[in-house]
Structure 1
Amino acid sequence: MRPEFYTGEMFDAWHYFGSQPIRKDGKVAGIQFTVYAPRAKGIDVIGEFNEWQQGKNPMEQVGLSGVWKTIISEAQVGMMYKYVIHTEEGWSCEHTDPFARQMELRPNFATIIVDDAAYKFNDADWLAQRSKCFNKPLNIYEVHLGSWRQKGSEEEIPDVEKRWYNYQEIADMLVPYLLEHHYTHVELLPITEHPSDESWGYQVVGFYAATSRYGTPEQLKYFVDKCHQAGIGVIMDFVPVHFALDYYGLSQFDGTSLYEYPDIDTGHSEWGSRNFNYYRGEVCTFLQSAANYWIEEFHIDGLRIDAVKNIIYWQGNPNRGINEGGVRFIQNMNAGLQRLHPDIILAAEDSSDFLKVTAPVEYEGLGFDYKWNMGWMNDTLDYFRTGPFARGDHYHKLSFSMMYFYNENFILPLSHDEVTQGKATIMQKMYGDYEGKFPQARTLYMYMYTHPGKKLNFMGNEWGHFREWHAEREMDWDLLKYPNHDSFREYIKILNKLYVTHSCLYEKEYAESNYRWLEVDRPDVATYVYERINDDESFIVVLNMSGLQLNGFVFGYDEETTLERILSSDEERFGGHTKSDSLKVTATAEGYRDWTHRFTVDVPPFSGIIFRRDRKADREKAKKKLASQVKKQQSTTPAARSRRTVKTKK
């Protein structure tokens, strides 16, 4: 085995471990099995090829490497197998292969032999233009594949396993939906194999195995391929923090703490799982190779790394200090993935205030491209829970995010974590009664989609889901029969389209020149005004978070221009009261505070308005005005008057 395996510098371990088809004359002539278990006394491979009998196919250790191998000519692709590991203490245990590419549906756990090369992708055009989207829109739809759509209700089909669609069926439904709603990427809650449905996939046993709940690896590759052919990127949740404690998985794999820390204090996580030991190079190799496996073999476009705080700090607690091994692991993994795949997205789900999460590793950063802005999410949702009569006292909860926005490359997430386990859904969180929640939610999403930062929205949020999400139940699509929910989805669809088609909302958004406040000192009416700017256009956004009708609301500007209203969250088509017609407002040369000009607008309660300024047209207009002035000045010079006099005499 290569030395990099032991030092934690290897990124392609799946090519060596697990079950590898051996080909002869283009056909599979057997399977080579390879597993790492340095403290095992002996290992047997049992499976369909030997009637699950121990002793028929023992493995041999390669020297003192800790790597065990055997070749079984009777084994074929599609057959199932397990390892029986005999420990130095004298007991034996059946295990799934740590490098399993496919496993049985829980509660069974046999590994299924897979040929990684069986599926042929047709996404070369997508891969050629794939990017990190720093200067492109990144609009992510977060999905749990088992509950987005189901084949029937719980009453109609009591067995949840029979309600699931497979990867291919989901792709055929989901891709048109993503296109219709103007999402650029889909993010999948963990699809690696996990024993418990209730964990949503965050407690993993098979880090290289696509969960068999929704079909085969080839069907998942079809899902990714279909997304790519439609111009949609695929991001997956990846959990290199901890693993499920089930006996057949990684826990005490060779009779010792091979993958986990040896002591309970650091080895057992707050979720009842086991924490990875980042001080073992073999563990780091296992994890970063798994990350690379999904990118290379499944053409995944990005990884959202879960619970980064628990990698940075011991047990996720800053008071216990920085886990230097964890920081070193994440830096090494990210640097390697960035080197191998400079066009993929690496995003951190990190609730800490650790510095330089999105700075390159060579500048002492963690090497992520993006960080979830949990502070923005918490402050925003807290604000919208607050009654309008008290929002003035919490006015700067909404402005505070711009105080630190340029510290990292942020994604604004309204994710699955905010709509379950007693937290209430996004729509439920809005202050007031049923009817009163919708205008506030429309204003919330206008604020989100015009705020700098990439966007992430969990399924169901786009139509105002009211029931908390549960992984075993299909989303409440019947809500779309009600006008409030149907019009809300149409509103989100229009916001999404504005975001992906107007570059002032995403181009150079991490530069301070893209954003400025025009009004951020009106707590008396809980109203904010800001501008998103690029060379050709800008959006001026007015947000009234109060329950007051603001007639003649004034805000300042620094030059003469005319704005066109392109969207109001209060329009009649969304359930509001404003006519969906064109409206233009012009700045007047009356000073307002420190500004030379002012705009005067009417803003309905609990609403937002987006005005567009055509900067390109303004420049052309200014050029023509200047040319006219120059021509006029030239016509009044003595030489010009003399030429006119001579012409008159003639």
Structure 2
Amino acid sequence: MSVDLLIPTNYQVHLFHEGNYFESYRLFGAHVIHTNNKLCTRFCVWAPNAKNVQLLGDFNSWNGTGYSFEKLNNEGIWMLIVEQDLEGSYYKYEITTSNGEKLIKSDPFAFYSEVRPNTASIVYTLDGYQWKDQRWLQMKNRKKVYSNAMVIYELHIGSWKKKEDGTFLTYCELANDLIPYVLDHGFTHIELLPLVEHPLDISWGYQGTGYYSVTSRYGTPHDLMYFIDLCHQNNIGVIMDWVPGHFCKDEHGLHRFDGTYLYEYETVMDRENFTWGTANFDLGKTEVQSYLISNARFWMEYYHIDGFRVDAVSNIIFWPNSENKENTFGTDFLKKLNKTVFHYDSSVLMIAEDSTDWPQVTAPIHYGGLGFNYKWNMGWMNDILDYMESHPNERSKLHEKVTFSLMYAFSENFVLPFSHDEVVHGKKSLLNKMPGDYWEKFAQLRLLLGFMMAHPGKKLLFMGFEFGQFSEWKDKEQLDWNLLDFEMHRKTNDYVKELMKIYKRSKPLFELDHLSEGFEWIDVHNYNQSIFSFIRKGNLEDDFLVIVCNFKNHTYEDYIVGVPKAGSYREVFNSNEIQFGGTGVVNKKVILAEDKVFHGKPFSIKMTIPPFGISILRPVKHRKERKGNGKEEVRSNVISRRKGKQA
């Protein structure tokens, strides 16, 4: 056996220490390697301050005698070659620190782990899965993400749905149940709460110990590949929540890995994340940069992940426990991360969960930005929920809560989020945030969702909103599926499906999401009635929608709205339809615009405004006005053929 083939190259080691080895998972961890017609298993770990490292496992009765690692060239990298195929074996590292303390650690680069509460790593070969998503990958690379519809369904695998005995669905079972559900509702993407291995269920994956190890709660790595593959075959993108800012302090994990603060900052105030009880990654350490950026690359390569929602960006760009003091290590890391990810795949979604007003989060790095392509609009989310939770009679005093977001809506590429964070810890569900009686709650939920779809920005919603879950998210239980036995919840579910359809087939609602040219107020000053009217525009000059939102429980007959164009208007969507649980106050007939200036527009229409409702109107296009749909050309060719002419 040629051992030289198994030893890391000097170039690999150099890049890792330099912070530029973005495929570190090929070097570190456990790898079954075929060489000279034999199989062996190579173990490699970074522990520069260790005195000794031994391999413990079920193959040696958890006794490391005779399984000592060799330190390579005093570079802090330890390696051991076991001349056996240890695929499926359980293992850990016994690390002797400089002061003689013995630490039993899981492998930071393990690809698979024991089901909690056990914590051993498992030798697992990721190769071998036959992907069938080539068509998706080709389409994704051609797709212009900024000018396309995007509605993300955020979910926690462990509590979306459970088996009858209360156990978790596996990744494969989830694929069979979730994908048809997502298709039926019209979501374009699924976002999964962190998939990394984590010891505590109630951390939801945000306090991880195994960044390269798919949580075994729901199955094997190949099972997750099957789930993502099937999503792609059904044209559904998959985004994962990812936490490069801090990690779990459980003793088997990264914390004090070799007896020193190896992965985390050295000083207490920088290291300790007192809010979550975790340790903050030392983002200025080049080896940590290699570890984390390699991790993003790993999920892209092996799991075909389409995007990352990067958690707690504010905890990265500012020093922890400081008064908003910039952490240049953090900002430099984010720029390096985004630059590297887009180098490998320009179609990946890099979404910053950032609650600060840090400028140019989604601007390119060469223009001074952080390089993300999307940012959560936390300001919009907080403002609109404050507005909706207020009594309708008080909303005239909070008018700016609705209008202020349009002052900065085009300063970044935004995702509008109603995430899991807004429906836990006593915050109540979206439905139950709405004031008023039973009917009013549902009406306002429909209005809120409609306004969200009409507002510039891509969309994200947490599971359960789509049928009006009354209770807030209970992470130990499945969603309240029994609510679909009740009429108003079924009608809410029907409403969401129809709302998705109108959103996805209406280019003005997404085509110019990130450009001010795509939005225009009609009436922004109606404080007393809490009615807002505006225009959403597509690329074509005559492709626009008129949207009117009424945030009070009053009906208004012959309400005048200024419009930019003469002709007829048809109401294409109304949240007050009886089939959605509304009162049926809608605009059934075509509305003819009058040659009368109103709201600063050259024409105006008279319409009925439903209570707690959103109305979407589209100008009626006569046949000769319909451009770009190919019908004129088809009709001309048919006529020509009938006359015996060559088309």
Normalised TM-score (structure 2)? 0.92
Q: Which amino acid aligns with 1:571?
A: E
Q: Does 1:450 align with 2:454?
A: yes
Deviations 1:29-70 (A, max 9, x none): 121000000000000011122121122211001011100001
Match of 2:612 among 606, 614, 617: 606
Structure 2 stretches lacking a partner, 5+ long: 1-11, 628-647
* SS of residue paired to 2:546: strand
- The 5 A counterparts of 1:609-624 are 609-614=615-620, 619=625
Kept in 2, the 8 Å contact 1:309–1:316? The answer is no
Secondary structure, counterpart of 2:126 in structure 1: coil
Contact 1:569 1:607 in 2 (8 A): yes
Deviates more, 1:131-140 or 1:421-430: 131-140
Which residue of 2 is the match for residue 136 of structure 1?
148
Cα 1:350/1:316, change in 2 over 3 Å: farther
Aligned: 1:472 with 2:476: yes
Amino acid at match of 1:554: I
CA distance in 2, matches of 1:49, 1:75: 11
- 1:508-527 equivalences in 2 (<5 Å): 508-527=512-531
Q: Are the structure 2 counterparts of residues 280 and 510 from structure 1 closer, same or farther at C-alpha, using a change threshold of 3 Å?
A: same
Q: Report how far residue 433 of structure 1 moved.
A: 2.2
The answer to whether residue 150 in structure 2 is matched with residue 145 in structure 1 is: no
Q: Does 1:549 align with 2:544?
A: no
Q: Which residue of 2 aligns with 1:13?
A: 24
Q: Partner of 1:634 in structure 2?
A: none
Which one of 31, 47, 58 corresponds to residue 48 of structure 1? 58
Contact 1:309/1:351, CA 8 A, preserved across alignment: yes
Structure 1 ranges of 4+ moved more than 3 A: 579-582, 614-621
The residue type equivalent to 1:145 in the other structure is I
**CA distance, structure 2, for counterparts of residue 72 and residue 611 of structure 1:** 70
Q: Secondary structure at the match of 2:443?
A: helix
Paired AA for residue 218 in structure 1: H
Give 1:382's match in structure 2, choosing from 379, 383, 386: 386
Equivalent in the alignment of 1:185:
189
SS in structure 2 at match of 1:134: helix
Mapping for residues 67-466 of structure 1, pairs under 5 Å: 67-130=77-140, 131=143, 133-152=145-164, 157=165, 163-269=167-273, 270-315=275-320, 319-466=323-470
CA distance, structure 2, for counterparts of residue 142 and residue 542 of structure 1: 28
CA distance in 2, matches of 1:473, 1:300: 27
Contact conserved, 1:132 with 1:344, CA < 8 A, in 2? no
Distance in 2 (CA, whole Å) between partners of 1:126 and 1:42 is 47
> For the residues of structure 2 that align with 1:209 and 1:285, how far apart are their CA atoms?
17
- For residue 57 of structure 2, what is the amino acid of its counterpart? G
- Describe the superposition over 1:247-287 as per-residue Cα deviations: whole angstroms up to 9, x where unpaired: 11000000100001112211010211000001100001101
Looking at structure 1, the residues matched to 46 and 622 of structure 2 have their Cα atoms a distance apart, in angstroms, of 63
- Choose 64-73 or 557-566, whichever is displaced more: 557-566
1:93 shift after superposition: 1.0
Could you say what secondary structure the match of 1:610 adopts? strand
Per-residue CA deviation, residues 212-271 of structure 1 (Å, 9 max, x unaligned), is: 000100000000000001110100000001000001100000010000111221101021
SS in 1 for 2:241: strand
Q: For each residue in 1:87-143, what CA deviation from the matched residue of structure 2 results, as whole angstroms up to 9, or x when unmatched?
A: 011110110000011111112111111112121211111011114611111110001
Amino acid at match of 1:47: G
Matching residue's letter, 1:522: N
- CA distance in 1 between partners of 2:440 and 2:101 (Å): 64
Q: Structure 1 residue 519: deviation in Å?
A: 1.1
Give the 3-state SS of the residue equivalent to 2:514 in structure 1.
coil
Partner SS for 1:398: helix
- Provide Cα deviations, 1:371-405, integer angstroms capped at 9, x if missing partner: 00000100011101111111111112111111100
Query: For residue 18 of structure 1, what is the amino acid of its counterpart?
Result: G
* Structure 1 stretch displaced more, 595-604 or 221-230: 595-604
Change beyond 3 A, Cα 1:36–1:428: same
**Secondary structure at the residue paired with 2:409?**
helix
SS in 2 for 1:141: strand
User: Residue 537 of structure 1 aligns to which amino acid in structure 2?
Assistant: D
- Partners of 1:292 and 1:134 in 2: CA distance: 23
**1: distance between equivalents of 2:527 and 2:623?**
34
Greater Rg over alpha carbons, structure: 1
Q: 1: CA distance between counterparts of 2:26 and 2:158?
A: 30
Contact 1:462 1:489 in 2 (8 A): yes
Secondary structure of the residue aligned to 2:230 is helix
State the one-letter code of the partner of 1:150. Answer: K
Q: Could you tell me which residue of structure 2 aligns to residue 633 of structure 1?
A: none
SS in 1 for 2:190: strand
Quick check: 1:490 aligned with 2:494? yes
Partners of 1:594 and 1:478 in 2: how far apart?
A: 49
Kindly report the root-mean-square deviation, in angstroms, between the aligned alpha carbons of the 2 structures. Answer: 1.6
- CA spacing shift, 1:593–1:532, aligned 2, 3 Å: closer
- Aligned counterparts of 1:375 and 1:581: Cα–Cα separation in 2: 33
Q: Kindly state the Cα deviation for residue 583 of structure 1 after the two structures are TM-superposed.
A: 2.5
Structure 1 spans left out of the alignment, 5+ residues: 622-650
Q: TM-score, structure 1 length as denominator?
A: 0.92
AA in 1 matched with 2:564:
D
Change (3 A) 1:380 1:275: same
Secondary structure, counterpart of 1:176 in structure 2: helix
Whichever residue aligns with residue 517 of structure 1, its letter is W
Task: Specify the code of the residue in structure 2 equivalent to 1:493.
Answer: K
Q: Which of 583, 594, 603 pairs up with 1:588?
A: 594
Which amino acid letter does the alignment assign opposite residue 254 of structure 1? D
Aligned-pair CA distance for 1:618 = 7.9
Once residues 560 and 247 of structure 2 are traced to their aligned partners in structure 1, the CA distance between those partners, rounded to angstroms, is 56
The structure-2 alpha-carbon separation of the partners of 1:337 and 1:496, relative to structure 1 and needing over 3 Å to count, comes to: same
Mapped contact 2:522–2:599 kept (Cα < 8 A):
no
Take 1:447 and 1:260, find their aligned partners in 2: how far apart are those partners? 43
Cα gap change, 1:56 to 1:206, in 2 (>3 Å): same
1:577 to 583, 591, 607: 583
CA distance in 1, matches of 2:412, 2:461: 20
Q: How many residues align?
A: 611
Q: Secondary structure at the match of 2:548?
A: strand
Aligned to 2:572: 566
Distance of 2:436 and 2:131 partners within structure 1: 50
